[in-house]
């Protein structure tokens, strides 16, 4: 009787393990896509930081960033392709008009920086959407006072923010990991996009801003 019970239990366990194999394979596939997305986005941001450190002016930075966006390597990732299409539209406006080799945006920026600071920000983070009805948002955005907050709740990517001073051009502040930030006079693009492949949501914003500051979130303040 015991042998029969053991045999029945063994057969049941065998069927359970077989039924779980497709689910396990699907999870492994999703995890692989998540890792690919995270790797591509991290590399893209690394390249942006490298370009910022090597550029002499904001015009140089925008030109090199546009070249980076046209790199086919990043267009192979669906979620990055969504970002890049909007970034390119924004950069075309930012490049401005050149007359006699002088970029008008840079000239006006140099004049305005004598009266008030002028910054450029690129930031992204990830989160898991709890509201299934929330749709993707890709908008041009203007805000008098805005804030952002990235916690360490997501294991996909660490929140990352790069703040550039436009005149004289250079890296003003960079923040990686849990953070809280405030900005005033932001004009740029804001993206809140869910990956159709993995269900992960990505937030990214990029643009010009009058005042901005990011603060590290300690474990107690998350």
pLDDT tens digits, residue range 110-140? 444 444 568 999 998 877 666 666 666 767 6
Q: Given this model, what pLDDT does residue 88 score?
A: 80
Is 56 among the domain residues?
A: yes
CB contact set of 109 (below 8 Å; sequence gap of 6+): 58, 118, 166, 167
User: Which residues, in sequence order, are bridge partners of residue 181?
Assistant: 148, 214
Indicate the pTM of the whole model: 0.71
140, part of any domain: yes
Name the least confident of 35-39, 48-52, 80-84, 111-115.
111-115
Could you report the per-residue pLDDT of 125-179, keeping only the tens digit for each? 877 666 666 666 767 677 788 899 887 666 667 889 999 998 888 899 999 998 9
Per the prediction, the chain carries an average pLDDT of: 73
Q: Can you tell me the distance from the alpha carbon of 154 to that of 56, in angstroms, rounded to the nearest whole number?
A: 35
Residue 85 inside a domain? The answer is yes
Q: Given a cut of 50, is residue 222 above it in pLDDT?
A: yes
Does residue 222 form part of some domain? no
Q: How many domains does the chain have?
A: 1
Cα separation of the two ends of the chain:
58
The answer to whether position 109 is within a domain reads yes
Instruction: Answer positive or negative: Cα dihedral of 128, 130, 136, 139.
Output: negative
Higher-scoring residue by pLDDT: 15, 156: 156
In a domain, 129, yes or no: yes
Would residue 74 count as lying in a domain? yes
Q: Are strands 179-194 and 137-150 parallel, antiparallel or unpaired?
A: antiparallel
Q: Which domain holds residue 192?
A: 2-216
Question: Distance between alpha carbon 55 and the CA centroid of its chain, in Å?
Answer: 21
């Amino acid at each position: 009787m015991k042998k029969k019970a053991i045999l029945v239990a063994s057969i049941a366990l065998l069927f359970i393990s077989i039924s779980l194999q497709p689910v396990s394979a699907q999870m492994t596939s999703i995890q692989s896509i998540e890792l690919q997305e995270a790797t591509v986005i991290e590399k893209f941001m690394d390249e942006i930081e490298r370009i910022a450190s090597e550029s002499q002016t904001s015009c140089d930075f925008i030109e090199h960033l546009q070249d980076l966006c046209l790199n086919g390597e990043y267009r192979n990732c669906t979620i990055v392709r969504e970002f890049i299409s909007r970034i390119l539209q924004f950069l075309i406006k930012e490049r401005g008009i050149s007359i006699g080799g002088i970029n008008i945006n840079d000239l006006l920026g140099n004049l305005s920086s004598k009266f008030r600071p002028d910054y450029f920000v690129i930031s992204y983070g990830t989160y898991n959407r709890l509201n299934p009805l929330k749709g993707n948002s890709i908008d041009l955005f203007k805000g008098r006072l805005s804030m952002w907050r990235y916690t360490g709740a997501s294991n996909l990517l660490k929140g990352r923010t790069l703040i550039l001073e436009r005149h004289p051009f250079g890296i003003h502040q960079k923040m990686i990991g849990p953070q809280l930030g405030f900005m005033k006079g932001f004009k740029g693009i804001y993206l809140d996009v869910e990956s159709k492949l993995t269900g992960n949501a990505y937030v990214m914003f990029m643009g010009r801003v009058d005042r901005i500051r990011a603060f590290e979130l300690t474990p107690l303040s998350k």
